[in-house]
Amino acid sequence: MAETSITTGVMTMMELRYNPITDEWIIISSETQKRPVLPKKESCPLCPGVLEMKHDYDLTAFDNRYPSLKLDPPQIQKDDFFENAPSYGKCEVIMFTSDHNSSLSRMPFGQIEKLIYVWEDRTRDLMKYEKIKYIFPFENRGKEVGASQIHPHGQLYAFPFLPKRIQTKIDAIAKYKSKGECAICDVIKHETGENIVYDGESFVALVPYFARFPYEVHIYSRRHISFFTEMTSREKFDLAIALKVVTSKYDSLFDQEFPYMMEIFQGPVNPQMKDFHFHIEFNPPKRDKVNVKWMASVETGTWAFINPLTPSEAAKSLRNASYSI
């Protein structure tokens, strides 16, 4: 059995376990069970001066109070058969703004621009740890995707291994070499326009031809870059506009706060992989105003997705949706 640690009187377990059947690492972390759920505004732990930030702030990044990965993980007990490893890494919370009632869709794009500089700084900082292999910023918005706080914030996981889907993307890059240089570069080149949601100068937002979710949107950099740290200030500005436009359109699509998972894909680090094309995926669970597209047996069990909405139709709806900046 693995070693357990005791904090605040509760038995907790933190370790990585390898699944030889699927060739993937699983993070065991009973700490995360202690997270609070959807508090009222008065008790929001992310507002200035309440719990996490002792004073006012503009944006912050801080170590998650309930981490799955830590730079000083607990010791583990090796098993004779199963493979496991310490939960090395970093789990950070990134506050987008001190305004409790804001969101990416509502905040000025100037604030989103600053957020991109924060993501860049966190990437630069964390890639210095040699054992960190993948840095993954993301946002879960809405209770439909398990967000435990409504105060606008995201998270960042710095993994000591390449997560399964990242490995799949890397394998696809290698496979695509027989067809061309970069799949994303070629998708941008061949996109005729019917799937485009926002056509920016440095970034393009589209519902991909192969979308898995009904209103899935990808944001691709026009230039082949792999990291925030490679972006020019112009590109960071354009990315802020793209994020603002997409999230704002999402909210006006059904005239509601649109839930989504926003995943930011940079290249692996230590060593840096420059073949990887920077991109962002929005995976919203909504299939229409009322219904949710569940990750059910087929999707979860086989990774085969059934999308009930033609991507070009979804793109048209989003293209026509109004937005603010």
Partner 1 sequence: MKINGHMKAGIGREIVGDFELNFSVSKSRGYLIEIELKNLSDAPKFIKEIKIGEIDSNDKIFMNNFQSWGPCTFVNPYEVSMVLKSSNVPLNFGISPVLWEFKDGIVSDYFVATDHEFAGFLSSNISHPYFKWHDGNLDVKVYIGKTLSSHESVRIEKLWISEFDTIENALQDYALEVLKDHETRSHSPLFGWESWYSYYLDISQETFLKELESANLKYEVFQLDDGYEADIGDWLKTNSKFPDGLEFLARKIKEKGMKAGIWTAPFSVSESSDLFKEHPDYLVKDDEGNPIVAYENWRRKIYAIDLSNDEAIEWLKDLFLTLKSYGYEFFKIDFLFAGMVPGKRKSNLSPVESYTRGMKAIAEAVGDSHILGCGAPLLPSIGYVDSMRIGSDTSFEWNGTDTGAPSAKYSIRNALTRNFMNKWWVNDPDCVMARSQRTELSKNERMINLFVPALLNGQFIESDFLGELTNEDIHLLMSALNFRNGNSTVKFIDRERYVITTKNSKNGDVISFVNLSDSVWKADLSYQIGKKEEEFFISYPLMKSVDKNLEINPRSIEIVLHRGKRYLRRDDEKEDDGRDIHYYWGDDYDGVKI
Continuous segment of H or E residues that includes residue 183: helix 183-190
Report helix, strand or coil for 136. strand
Is-contact 292 286, C-beta < 8 A?
yes
Active site residue 151: no
- Choice from 232, 288, 303, 313 touching partner 1 (CB under 8 A): 232
- Choice from 10, 26, 172, 325 touching partner 1 (CB under 8 A): 325
Residues 65-124 close enough to bind partner 1 by CB under 8 A:
65, 98, 101, 106-111, 113-114, 117-118, 121
- Choice from 83, 181, 201, 288 touching partner 1 (CB under 8 A): 201
DSSP character string of 297-312 = HHHHHH-----SS-HH
> Could you tell me the smallest distance in angstroms from the CB atom of residue 135 to partner 1?
15
First-to-last alpha carbon distance for the chain, in angstroms, is 54
> Could you tell me the smallest distance in angstroms from the CB atom of residue 232 to partner 1?
6
Q: Is 52 in the site for partner 1 (CB under 8 A)?
A: yes
CA distance 85 to 79: 10
Q: Which of 55, 100, 151, 153 is catalytic?
A: 153
Residues 6+ apart with CB under 8 A from 156: 61, 90, 91, 92, 93, 94, 119, 122, 126, 135, 136, 137, 138
Angle at 129 between CA 17 and CA 81, to 5 degrees: 20
Q: Is 171 in the site for partner 1 (CB under 8 A)?
A: no
What distances in angstroms separate CA 200 from CA 89, 192, 221, one per listed residue? 35, 15, 9
Q: Is 56 in the site for partner 1 (CB under 8 A)?
A: yes
Residue 240 or residue 273: which is nearer to partner 1 going by CB? 240
CA distance 95 to 51: 13
User: Quick one: which segment of 21-29, 52-60, 76-84, 257-265 binds partner 1 (CB under 8 A)?
Assistant: 52-60
The closest of 147, 125, 133 to 61, measured between CA atoms, is 125
> Could you tell me the smallest distance in angstroms from the CB atom of residue 112 to partner 1?
10
Q: Is 233 in the site for partner 1 (CB under 8 A)?
A: yes
Site string for partner 1, 239-278 (x = CB under 8 A): --x------x---x--x-----------------------
> Could you tell me the smallest distance in angstroms from the CB atom of residue 180 to partner 1?
28
Phi, psi at 27, each rounded to 5°: -100, 120
Judged by the rule CB under 8 A, the positions of this chain that interact with partner 1 are: 48, 52-53, 55-63, 65, 98, 101, 106-111, 113-114, 117-118, 121, 200-201, 232-234, 236-237, 241, 248, 252, 255, 321-325
Give the catalytic positions in this structure: 153
